[in-house]
Structure 1
């Protein structure tokens, strides 16, 4: 009599055989998805990124391929030159426009009159050799109109005590002048200017008038704007003076002459605003 295997033994043998077959069978290749199923970003990626190659290698390969096509005369893919580098544009800050203001400008100045040549007033020989009109120093008072532009027009009164070689107790040389200045705008507080003018002179002992004449002058100077209403300056002018003949206190006859002077000024002036344009 043949023995029958138990019912559970057949099921266990079947499971063991299936497990052994699954371990020994080769793995099936993964299913490849079509290009349409890939994400758009992956489709747009460089060929090297999709194939697993480095991006630089793909780019170098594309450039090499383009160069080869150009060498073969392929006009469909011409080489594109690199654009020139663009330099950044530097904007310079523009200087603000000047204030168009009118002023009344007035002040005082310490002056020095240096005699270059007294002319026939002091001959170099004879009894009139002692010079009655030498160098001196004094004070000037002036005032005028300062336009919104570079011009100044005004007047000045100046008196100087001159060296008279003791022929006068107090020889006073007085001037009354009309003046103008041209001051170009250079954008700084210190600005140069050119000056010129004409006027009249009188000369005598102790503020007396014994002779007179006329003068002209021209010179240069520098004006420093200490504040909006105050300026300091220095100037140098050349001043020829025509002096008529006269009889001095020693009863000597002095001839008509042209005396030449160089004047130096250290000035302080203030401004009073008139209006704006």
Structure 2
């Protein structure tokens, strides 16, 4: 005959055994509080195991950033990073050093003046020198002389000024000393190309007189336009060359040989070799 335990005896026995074990167990001391105990080294993560930071990244962070941190960089990625570092803007310290070694551009206005050796090459004297008849000998040929000018050079690309030029012309011995005088208003446009030698465009208008030995026997008006090159020798001195086309309207006159000269449109090409200096007026 098998005896059966009374109902509820098994749970009571389990509870009693648990109470006995808990009373006999010794509480483990907290980590790092036991005297003479050495700190435990952090466990080495196993291959393929995720760290807590990786878990946090996977839960609430950026998965792409986690993958980029965990995965090794390829050669292309390293080259792209180096290129980005090379094209990065300079630091404030580097910018200050650059400004200390490279002066800022000057915005200075000048009074500019000087002299030039001038040549007038006659293309056509017009009705002043007919191709046939008793007036065939041309009284207005080519010549050379001197020009004096002064003007204002703005901080930008513009120059405005005036010039006086006298030229001894070939008069086929009809004049002892034929002097062709000009008084001009002129301007130049000089684009800044970053070099000491810079091209410019010039234009202007003016009046002329012509006669024997500085006398005035005829007069008229002129216009001109041309190009040139200016070489900055220093901040205060420039050398240059220019070439202009100059049509001149001359009124009719009677020359010293008592020949009547008709009103003419003479055409010249002018060349100049100039030297000019500058005086600083102010800065902007």
TM-score scaled by structure 2? 0.69
- Residue 170 of structure 1 is matched in structure 2 by 177
Gaps of 5+ in 2: 1-37, 49-62, 91-97
Query: Alpha carbons of 1:80 and 1:146: their partners in 2 closer, same or farther (altered >3 Å)?
Result: same
Task: Give 1:121-132 correspondences, 5 Å limit.
Answer: 121-132=128-139
2:267 to 260, 268, 276: 260
- Residue 89 of structure 1 is matched in structure 2 by 86
- Residue 39 of structure 1 is matched in structure 2 by 41
1:224 to 204, 207, 231: 231
Aligned residues: 213
**If you compute each CA radius of gyration, which structure gives the higher value, 1 or 2?**
1
SS at the partner of 1:120? helix
State the Cα RMSD in Å.
Answer: 2.4
Gaps of 5+ in 1: 1-35, 48-57, 63-76
Deviation, 1:171, is 0.4
Deviation, 1:275, is 1.1
- Residue 158 of structure 2 is matched in structure 1 by 151
Q: Kindly indicate whether residue 210 of structure 2 is the aligned counterpart of residue 213 of structure 1.
A: no
SS at the partner of 1:209? coil
CA-to-aligned-CA distance 1:229-276 (integer Å, 9 cap, x gap): 111100010000000100111111111011000000000000111111
Q: Kindly indicate whether residue 253 of structure 2 is the aligned counterpart of residue 246 of structure 1.
A: yes
Deviation, 1:218, is 0.5
TM-score scaled by structure 1? 0.71
SS at the partner of 1:129? coil
- Residue 276 of structure 2 is matched in structure 1 by 269
SS at the partner of 1:275? strand
Could you list the structure 1 runs, at least 4 aligned residues long, displaced by more than 4 angstroms after superposition. Answer: 77-83, 91-97
Deviation, 1:97, is 4.5
Distance in 2 of aligned mates of 1:181 and 1:212? 26
Deviation, 1:98, is 2.4
Deviation, 1:102, is 1.3
Deviation, 1:37, is 8.1
1:179 to 183, 186, 193: 186
Distance in 1 of aligned mates of 2:244 and 2:104? 32
- Residue 25 of structure 1 is matched in structure 2 by none
Distance in 1 of aligned mates of 2:234 and 2:103? 18
Deviation, 1:89, is 3.1
SS at the partner of 2:191? coil
Task: Give 1:42-57 correspondences, 5 Å limit.
Answer: 43-44=43-44, 47=46
Task: Give 1:132-143 correspondences, 5 Å limit.
Answer: 132-143=139-150
- Residue 191 of structure 1 is matched in structure 2 by 198
SS at the partner of 2:156? coil
SS at the partner of 1:194? strand
Distance in 2 of aligned mates of 1:267 and 1:274? 22
